[in-house]
């Protein structure tokens, strides 16, 4: 991680996003050492909390330690537990929270998130940008109905097949998603039908 962070700095990157160690299930000391080593390269580090895939959960207390030591400046939160936003704000108020999953956008935006690492704006950029702006501005009269309209698609971002779903929606709106590279396989027929129907409904509603 240190080497890659140094390479990112040499390439002109202004920050890096970094998963916790995930070749094995790491304990807290290993997580702290991992981020300390990357931070020593001198770039700001955004922690990526994805306990579903990494089996290492950057809980609010651990994030507060990482931030307090100066190892991370932000976190992409993908646990799905929106309650954590408030605990993170209590323990590490200067740690920037980034929305890490499309289907909790409204909840985390209302809780004070500073950004969105997004999936479905690749297919529906205008309506997703409108949703994000309204949500972060506290304009729930605009955000809530739009969120409800988009949610049948946004929730695919938290599924294993999220890449395939987003690419299919891109194809359907003329943005060319194309096929996935192996080892990802095509959607099952039922999944494809669901994504297609939700995308076509969004297009009919003027959201594309």
Q: Tokens 């970094």 identify what position?
A: 18
Enter the pTM of the model: 0.95
pLDDT in tens, 51-83: 999 999 999 999 999 999 999 999 999 999 999
Q: For residues 48 and 69, is the Cβ–Cβ distance under 8 A?
A: no
Q: Which of 124, 128, 112, 132 has the alpha carbon at shortest distance from 200?
A: 124
Please enumerate, as own/partner, the contacts of 92-100 that have beta carbons within 8 Å and a separation of 24 or more. 92/60, 92/63, 92/64, 92/67, 92/68, 94/67, 95/63, 95/64, 95/67, 98/46, 98/74, 100/48, 100/49, 100/50, 100/76
Residue 28: burial class (beta carbons within 10 Å; 0-12, 13-18, 19+): middle
Query: For position 64, what pLDDT does the model report?
Result: 99
How much of the chain exceeds pLDDT 90, in percent?
98
Helix or strand run (H / E) with residue 26: none
Cis (ω within 30 of 0) for the bond into 183?
A: yes
Helix or strand run (H / E) with residue 48: strand 45-49
Residue 6: burial class (beta carbons within 10 Å; 0-12, 13-18, 19+): middle
Domains of the chain: which residue ranges? 1-100, 120-208
Query: For position 23, what pLDDT does the model report?
Result: 87
- CA gap 168, 191 in Å, rounded: 11
**Superfamily of the domain at 1-100:** Enolase-like C-terminal domain (3.20.20.120)
pLDDT in tens, 127-160: 999 999 999 999 999 999 999 999 999 999 999 9
Query: For position 146, what pLDDT does the model report?
Result: 99
Query: For position 79, what pLDDT does the model report?
Result: 97
Contacts of 194 (CB under 8 A, 6+ apart): none
């Amino acid at each position: 991680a240190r080497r890659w962070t140094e390479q990112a700095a040499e390439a002109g990157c202004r920050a890096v996003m970094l998963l916790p160690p995930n070749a094995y299930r790491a304990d807290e000391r290993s997580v702290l050492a991992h981020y300390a080593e990357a931070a020593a390269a001198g770039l700001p580090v955004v922690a990526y909390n994805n306990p579903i895939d990494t089996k290492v959960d950057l809980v609010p207390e651990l994030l507060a330690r990482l931030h307090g030591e100066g190892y991370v400046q932000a976190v992409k939160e993908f646990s799905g537990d929106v309650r954590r936003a408030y605990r993170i704000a209590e323990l590490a108020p200067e740690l920037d929270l980034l929305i890490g999953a499309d289907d909790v956008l409204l909840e985390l935006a209302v809780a004070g998130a500073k950004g969105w690492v997004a999936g479905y704006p690749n297919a529906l950029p205008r309506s997703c940008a409108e949703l994000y702006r309204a949500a972060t501005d506290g304009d729930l009269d605009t955000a809530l109905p739009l969120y409800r309209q988009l949610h049948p698609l946004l929730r695919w971002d938290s599924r294993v097949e999220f890449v395939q779903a987003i690419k299919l929606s891109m194809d359907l709106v003329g943005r060319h998603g194309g096929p996935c590279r192996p080892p990802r396989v095509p959607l099952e027929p039922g999944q494809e039908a669901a994504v297609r129907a939700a995308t076509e409904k969004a297009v009919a509603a003027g959201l594309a």
